[in-house]
Each structure stands twice: as C-alpha cells, then as structure tokens.
Amino acid sequence: MSGSIKAIRGMQDLLPQKKRYYRQVEDAARHIFARHGYEEVGLPLLESTPLFKRLVGEATDIVEKEMYTFDDRNGDSMTLRPEGTAGLVRFVNEHGLAFNQTQKLWYAGPMFRYERPQKGRYRQFEQIGVECVGIPGPDVDAELLLMCAALWRRLGIESMVRLELNSIGDVASRQAYIEALVNYLSDRREALDEDSQRRLTTNPLRILDSKSATTQAILDDGPQIESYLDADSTDHFEALCAILDAAEVPYTVNRRIVRGLDYYNRTVFEWVTDELGAQGTVCGGGRYDALIGQLGGRDTPGVGFAMGVDRLALMLEQLESPAEAPDLYALSVGESARTLALTLADRLRQAVGARVIVHLGSGKLKAQMKKADASGARFALIIGEDELAAGEVSLRDLRETGEQQRVKFGDLNAIVAERLGH
C-alpha cells in the first residue's frame, strides 16, 4: 500500500507547543470553577441519537446536517456528541440528581460536528461546559457570568472579550414572537438571503443571526423580541442586569442573540471577540428550564454555558504566552554520571517540586549545554568526571549571573530549593 495517511479533515493534531495553550485554558477553568463550588463530571462521547433530536431540536442545523450519526451492531442509532448540555441533562435525570437538589457541575472534552473547517472551527473541537441545575432565579445566571469574567482575567484576555446578552422570554412569549416574525418575513421572503429563506419554515429565530446586511436591514423594521416578553422574563432580565451593574461587569444588550438551539428560554448570552475573524463567539449559553421535563423528569430549572477551548487557545497564542520552562537541565558525561543525573533529578522532583529535564543519550558537554540554554532552564546541573569523583555536581546559573558552584550530593536539594524560592 502506497501513500501516507493523514489526519481526517477537520480533525487537528495538537503539537506540544499548541497543546500547552489548551492545558492553560483547562487548568485555569478548573481553578476558577472549584473556587465557585462547581464539581467536574465525566460524560460519554456517544449518546443515543434521539437525545439530541428531542432536546436540541430536529429543525436545528446541528441535528439536520452536522451530527456524526451511525447505527451500532444492534441497529441502534448512536451520535458522537455535538454539544454537552443534552448529555449533562440526561446524566442529571438518569442519576436522580435534580429533584429538590442543586447541582453545580462542569465537564470538558471533545465534541463533533460536520462543519466547514476554518480558523477556530473544527469538526472535532474541545469544549468546556458549566451547568447549574435547580435554581430558577437571576442570581445563578449572574454567578455564571461573573465566573466567566474571573476566568478571562486569570487567562489575561479580559480586554479581548465582551459580553452580549438578551432575554428570549418563556415558551409562550417566544412562540408569539416567532409567529409575528414569520408573518412579517413571509411577505419579504424573496429579499432574504438563501439560508434565511430556508430557516423561515424550519428555525425562524436563527434568521436573527444572519450575516446578510440586507436581511439585517429587513429585521430592523420588523417585530422586536422585547415587545413580546412576558412580565416574569422581563423582571428576571432586569434583575440580572442589576447584579452585573453592581459587580461592574460591562455588557451590551443584544436583542439579536437567540442561540442556535431550541432548548433556551429567558437568559441567553455570548462572550465575543474581534481577534478571531468570523469565529467571534468564544463562550455562549443561557437558561433551559424545560429540558429535564422533556426527558420525563420533573420540571427543573437549569442554566449553563459552553466555551470553545480551540478559540481561547488561539487567543492565548496571540498573547505569546511563554512556555513553562524547566527549573533545571541535567547534563552528564558517561554512563555512571547519567545514572546519577537521573537519580538526583528524581529526588529534586520529589523533595523540591522542581521541573527537571535530564539529557538522555550521548553527546558532548558543549552540545548538551546548548540544549540546556535553549530549554529555557534557570540552572544547569552538570556531572562530569571531576564532579563524579568528588561526590559533587556543578550548578550553573543560565539566566542571570552565569556563575557556577560545586555542590555536595547531600546538599543539592536544599540549595536548589533556596535558589528556586521553594
């Protein structure tokens, strides 16, 4: 068989330098979520296809044309998860975690959608999701947004993102608006862009997301969703905005935000950026108070969001965050010295918590020193014939003074700990 086999289109390989940014996002998220009392759960990659048809909506783009769906050997229809909320709701309902309980949960992992690959949009993409089940009020909506803001600060991208939010009301008010919107746009159908014409009979709310300037101009003169909101949804939204104002979290009310899934009600929001071209949304979510009831459980309020790790990683790349350099790079000459280097490095990792790279394989000391310098390590740990005979190592400062001192084996841990400030 000839020819090389490459990664499937839309499925990206993550080289070490790129994976570093993904890990940075997840580590920061894990830290922030734990401080707010959210616990991590694990969800399967495969779910029963009817789960997404029922909860996401059969008329959505995801279900209509983006899911990876197949029959297993028993003839049951399975789908690689295209998003996380439906699976989380199934998880909560199946394990009896919703009734008279509050659940603050988060998850991370790959999702799959058959979309046109482009910068920041892949067919396998990494997502982090947060869901809170059991609290109906605007306070939890606000907590999620405050938590996002804290995460952006920790990642150093708070100046690169902005919050846009909206209310789409309860089921009845949203349906009334949809009917008014369809009636208005039906008389102007021929002037709409092609996607909007199709969505007019399948998922009319998604027309609000149209990138067509002509369609947007038509929408400007049409019915506006705020005119159809029920009183409770209006009060909920005003209370949410008041909390954000008090917390000094800037936001913009964007009445065109509806999100692309059928399960949202009341609060919907997006964190957007201008740094990634067309793929401007880095985090989005909202309230879904009817989902658990749709699975046969008791009606239970819920709210959550999902963030695109791929897009956040691209933003961190733009910041040129430095790689996590090792503390020490261990060099050695000869097999006995190399064995000792491995042993001392292991002791330093355990006793001091130092990040140590040991040069493996052969190589002249000069070549090893070049690699030590290129690694970004603060110190070089050198074991040559002289050091080995004396029961010592040479410790060289690679970043500041360039000074080198001889250290007894038994004193190494303490001296390194002092130098590193541990």
Higher pLDDT residue, 46 or 277? Answer: 46
* Three-state DSSP class for residue 277: coil
Mean pLDDT of 66-72: 90
Report the CATH number at residue 97.
Answer: 3.30.930.10
Q: Which of 197-211, 349-363, 403-417 has the lowest mean pLDDT?
A: 197-211
Tell me the pLDDT band of 417, cut-offs 50, 70 and 90.
Answer: very high
Residues 244 and 312 placed together within one structural domain of the fold? yes
Percent of the chain scoring above 70 in pLDDT = 97
- pLDDT value at position 100? 76
- pLDDT value at position 53? 87
- 298 in any annotated domain: yes
260 has a pLDDT exceeding 70: no
Closest C-alpha among 41, 280, 233, 246 to residue 143: 246
1 has a pLDDT exceeding 60: no
318 has a pLDDT exceeding 90: no
Residues 311 and 342 placed together within one structural domain of the fold? no
- 370 in any annotated domain: yes
- 1 in any annotated domain: no
Domain boundary among 266, 289, 319: 319
Q: 100 Cβ partners below 8 Å, 6+ apart?
A: 134
pLDDT tens, residue by residue, 334-354? 888 899 999 999 999 999 899
Q: How far is CA 248 from CA 118, 187, 309, 376, in A?
A: 35, 43, 26, 40
Q: Which of 142-146, 194-198, 234-238, 248-252 has the lowest mean pLDDT?
A: 194-198
- pLDDT value at position 155? 92
Residues 368 and 276 placed together within one structural domain of the fold? no
Cα torsion angle, 313, 314, 316, 322, sign: positive
- 210 in any annotated domain: no
Distance separating alpha carbons of residues 407 and 422, to the nearest angstrom: 18
- 195 in any annotated domain: no
Domain boundary among 272, 294, 319: 319
Domain boundary among 290, 319, 348: 319
Residues 129 and 266 placed together within one structural domain of the fold? yes
Supply the pTM of this predicted model.
0.80
86 has a pLDDT exceeding 70: yes
- 3 in any annotated domain: no
Residues 389 and 242 placed together within one structural domain of the fold? no
- 78 in any annotated domain: yes
Residues 405 and 257 placed together within one structural domain of the fold? no
Contact (CB, 8 A) for 192 and 211: no
Cα torsion angle, 244, 284, 314, 275, sign: negative
Look at the chain and report how many structural domains it folds into.
2
Report the CATH number at residue 341.
Answer: 3.40.50.800
Tell me the pLDDT band of 131, cut-offs 50, 70 and 90.
Answer: very high
Tell me the pLDDT band of 322, cut-offs 50, 70 and 90.
Answer: low
Closest C-alpha among 352, 67, 36, 176 to residue 28: 36
Query: Which residue range forms the structural domain that includes residue 161?
Result: 16-170+230-319
pLDDT tens, residue by residue, 370-408? 999 888 899 999 998 888 888 889 999 998 888 899 989
Residues 273 and 389 placed together within one structural domain of the fold? no
* Crossing angle of the two packed helices 138-155 and 231-246, in degrees rounded to 10: 40
- 212 in any annotated domain: no
* Three-state DSSP class for residue 13: coil
Torsion of CA 57, 58, 63, 64, to 10 degrees: -140
269 has a pLDDT exceeding 90: yes
DSSP assignments along 191-255, one per residue: GS-HHHHHHTTT-GGGGGG---HHHHHHHHTS--GGGG--HHHHHHHHHHHHHHHHTT---EE-T
- pLDDT value at position 275? 84
Residues 164 and 284 placed together within one structural domain of the fold? yes
Give the CA angle between residues 403, 409, 412 to the nearest 5°: 55
Residues 274 and 340 placed together within one structural domain of the fold? no
- pLDDT value at position 190? 84
CA atoms within 13 A on the CB side of 203: 20
Q: How far is CA 231 from CA 228, 259, 300, in A?
A: 9, 22, 20
Distance separating alpha carbons of residues 149 and 156, to the nearest angstrom: 11
CA atoms within 13 A on the CB side of 13: 5
pLDDT averaged over every residue in the chain? 88
Residues 256 and 405 placed together within one structural domain of the fold? no
Residues 93 and 64 placed together within one structural domain of the fold? yes
3 has a pLDDT exceeding 80: no
Residues 114 and 61 placed together within one structural domain of the fold? yes
261 has a pLDDT exceeding 70: no
Higher pLDDT residue, 301 or 171? Answer: 301
